[in-house]
Amino acid sequence: MSRASDRAYEAIRSMILSGELPAGAQLAEEALAERCGVSRTPVREALRRLESDLLVTRTDTQRSFVADWSIDDVADAFELRAMLEGKAARRAAERMTDAALDRIRGANRRIAEAVGRPVADVVGFLEGNRDFHAVILEVAGSRRLAALLSTLIEQPVVWRTAHQYGREALRRSHGEHEELIAAFARRDGAWAEAIMTGHILRAYHAYADAHRGLAEQGLVREAAE
Amino acid sequence: MSRASDRAYEAIRSMILSGELPAGAQLAEEALAERCGVSRTPVREALRRLESDLLVTRTDTQRSFVADWSIDDVADAFELRAMLEGKAARRAAERMTDAALDRIRGANRRIAEAVGRPVADVVGFLEGNRDFHAVILEVAGSRRLAALLSTLIEQPVVWRTAHQYGREALRRSHGEHEELIAAFARRDGAWAEAIMTGHILRAYHAYADAHRGLAEQGLVREAAE
DNA sequence: TCGAATGCTATTGTATACAAATGTCCGAGG
DNA sequence: CCTCGGACATTTGTATACAATAGCATTCGA
């Protein structure tokens, strides 16, 4: 962790994910440097990283803006993610160890707890979910696959609408994870791939439905205006 | 094209691809800056880009080295590339236009010419091949897919052994391209995907065979020592 | 009134200086 | 002979100054 540039990266990233910096906003290095309390050099580095994460775009004249994800972009990203995570699940099933399986079970147990709370703990759910998928990716054992997926997993729109998911959707997610665990326990790669692909695509449609609902209420574009 | 940093990127990249900078060599910013005739700042930027291309790795203490691609890494990359390019071919077939089809045919015609020369023109082949795949990716119309694939297409080991391919392998490649064109002409996504996946995997095995041959002659590792 | 040229401002690109961190090597002590 | 420290050399991180370039608005001419 090289202090300043990582701090800048985290700071800008969270400003984008939270919507504090709305889609289309210009990202001037000097202004960001001041807001992050560092100089332009680490900010520049952070912007390049965010650009490769596709959270930031640059015009042909090198000016940076918060990326504006259209509905099609999100669909595109989910489609690719479904394919790649499916692949990861297949590889993971074929290489699964008992120790890793325990960690995956633990993550899903934490998810169950978060969902079971009197008031569903969405942040807890997201954390458990992240761990669950991270262990699978680790067991899949492909640096490249991990690198490719890392640019697809965190999208601002999704992040901001995750809280719209109902308890039912969270519970269904937990159930699909249980099925994945069964596939892993049997080391059945094809099964794991099928479930994972469906799991991601279902998550996409849950997002799309929630987003459509918001759009009808005129609640989505406000941040960009 | 921001002059200095792009020059540094191209310069370092070609030094790696050509083997002038062997796998495992340390990349000190100052030394590279001097070799490229620029200051450290653009070199740093170039190194970050090369790192995201997986041509350069960094230790936990932030020192950069030319990435060392093991056989497994290469297999891994080809496997992913086969999947992603297959997907791209499917999408391209579904969205193909007559104009794009003409460009694809033109690229394959240039490949045929390069292969047909008295002495096979490998550089011409590679250029035509690049165009061929680039148009498909363009028609597929997924920025994300293009971004993911860009980190997989150019690998130093492959680059250096491409010249080992025999004329027969080049001709077979051309033939597979013709079949792809047929699938595109019929807008048959499933067909295009199947052929493309096979095309990439065949290329992988051609590479693996050539590489194995070199290894037996003890000709591969010399650059790393 | 419209369009093009021009000067001003904002923003990014590059170089360089210095600080912080890492690696290396050699000597003292066990 | 090995290991543990510590000084020195290398390398990377950050800040800042300055240069180059793009954007913008205003004005001048037709």
**B221 burial type by CB count under 10 A (0-12 exposed, 13-18 middle, 19+ buried):** exposed
pLDDT of residue A222: 38
pLDDT of residue A214: 65
CA atoms in the 13 A half-sphere facing the CB of A56: 26
What's phi and psi for A41, nearest 5 deg? Answer: -55, -55
pLDDT of residue A43: 97
pLDDT of residue B121: 87
**Residue numbers in A 14-73, CB below 7 Å of strand C:** 26-31, 40-41, 44, 62-64
Nearest CA distance, A108 vs chain B (angstrom) = 28
Residues B89-130: tens digit of each pLDDT: 999 999 999 999 999 999 999 999 999 899 888 889 989 999
Chain B CB contacts of A73 under 8 Å are 143-144
Which sequence spans correspond to the domains of chain A? Answer: 3-66, 71-224
What is the largest distance, in Å, between two alpha-carbon atoms of chain B? Answer: 55
pLDDT of residue B214: 66
Q: How far, in whole angstroms, is CA A169 from its chain's centroid?
A: 17
Q: Could you give the dihedral angle defined by the CA atoms of residues B106, B107, B108 and B114, in that order, rounded to the nearest 10 degrees?
A: 110
In chain A, whose CA is at the least distance from the CA of B78? A144
What is the DSSP annotation of A144-194? HHHHHHHHHH--HHHHHHGGG--HHHHHHHHHHHHHHHHHHHTT-HHHHHH
Percentage above 90 pLDDT, chain A:
65
Separation of alpha carbons B154 and B190, rounded Å: 26
Residue whose CA is minimally distant from D23 C1': A61
pLDDT of residue A169: 85
Which residues is B27 bridged to in the sheet?
B64
pLDDT of residue A211: 77
The region of weakest confidence among A55-59, A87-91, A172-176, B164-168 is B164-168
Confidence category of residue B219, pLDDT binned at 50, 70, 90: very low
Nearest CA distance, A120 vs chain B (angstrom) = 33
Confidence category of residue B216, pLDDT binned at 50, 70, 90: low
User: Could you tell me the fold of the domain covering A3-66?
Assistant: Arc Repressor Mutant, subunit A (1.10.10)
CATH superfamily of B71-224: GntR ligand-binding domain-like (1.20.120.530)
Strand D positions within 7 A of protein Cβ atoms? 10-17, 21-23
Separation of alpha carbons A71 and A15, rounded Å: 21
pLDDT of residue B1: 58
Confidence category of residue B73, pLDDT binned at 50, 70, 90: confident
B34 touches strand D (CB under 7 A): no
Separation of alpha carbons B125 and B162, rounded Å: 10
